[in-house]
Amino acid sequence: MSILKTDRILVTGGAGFLGSFVTEKLRERGYTDLVVPRRRDYDLTRQDAVEKLYRDHDPAVVLHLAAEVGGIGANRDNPGRYFYANAAMGLHLIETARERRVKKFVQVGTICAYPNLTPVPFKEADLWTGFPEVTNAPYGIAKKSLLVMAQAYRQQYGLNAVYLLPVNLYGPRDNFDLQSSHVIPALIRKCVEARIRGDKQMSAWGTGAASREFLYAEDCAEGLVLAMERYDKPEPINLGNGREIRIKDLTELVAKLAGFDGEIVWDTTKPDGQPRRCLDVSAARREIGFTADTPFEDGLRKTITWYEANRERIVAKG
């Protein structure tokens, strides 16, 4: 069943970091009826609130981006909350989508669902070969359970639910709170603040030996909209650019671009997390024609520029 430009599209998390780019992409493509629920109005971890959301807006398509998530420290501090919130949101949203016979349900998963020692590059078939890295396993498993649910609902009820696995995201509008942010916004904030204070040193988590792949949020939004429009199969699809960088090299690059020329001191009492992350992105190219366009240094510069322009407001929030 094709998606029409006039179909009502519900974007959970549409006011957030990734969601704001997704809603912009949808509008650029001519979709005219978007619903972006806010947490103050609908607590998606509660079944009654989700049912009310569907009754109030009657969407034809659902893009489920909303999540409770953070970096290594936040995952370590909130394992129970992250499991419950992410599992509950997906559980209620998918079940109610089935009941209301929506045309399409797009579930955004997480790279944290992959086993800790997944061979690089990560292939979608590797999802079930082992246990996730322990610091983010509750979050990763909660999200991976929604892949099983989506596939089961497709098999039994005919729900057209698809599942995407974005790699680590970065970009303007990200979360720069040092208590819950991911690595790139945390490094940007640390480097900019250290430069402004004139610090001679800056601390960074772990050893720097781990590696990550990063996807510019606007590129990810393009991939999600393409999947909504073009993909109708049960198998999950990775979204990334297929390029890997060590955290040590990333930290030095961010410091250079942010103008911090002091010493980087590695706090080895803090965990590195999963040893390596880099995706096989061939399925995304083949199935939906997606290729990430933003060069990494360009994306970092745009993110640093955005942080500096919004720094006073962000710092004032804590």
Residues classed as catalytic: 139
Tokens of residue 290, six digits: 């997606």
CB of 154 closer than 8 Å to CB of 96? no
CA distances to 149, 161, 213 from 93, in Å: 11, 11, 29
DSSP for 23-86 reads HHHHHHTT--EEE---TTT--TTSHHHHHHHHHHH--SEEEE-------HHHHHH-HHHHHHHH
CA pair distance 10, 97, nearest whole angstrom: 11
CA pair distance 11, 64, nearest whole angstrom: 6
- Tell me whether residue 167 is exposed, middle or buried, using C-beta atoms within 10 angstroms of its C-beta: 0 to 12, 13 to 18, 19 or more: buried
Beta strands in 161-220 (DSSP E): 161-166, 168-170, 201-205, 211-212, 214-216
Sheet holding 237-239, edge to edge: 33-35, 8-12, 61-64, 104-108, 161-166, 237-239
CA pair distance 244, 258, nearest whole angstrom: 21
Looking up tokens 């960088």 gives 245
CA pair distance 184, 189, nearest whole angstrom: 9
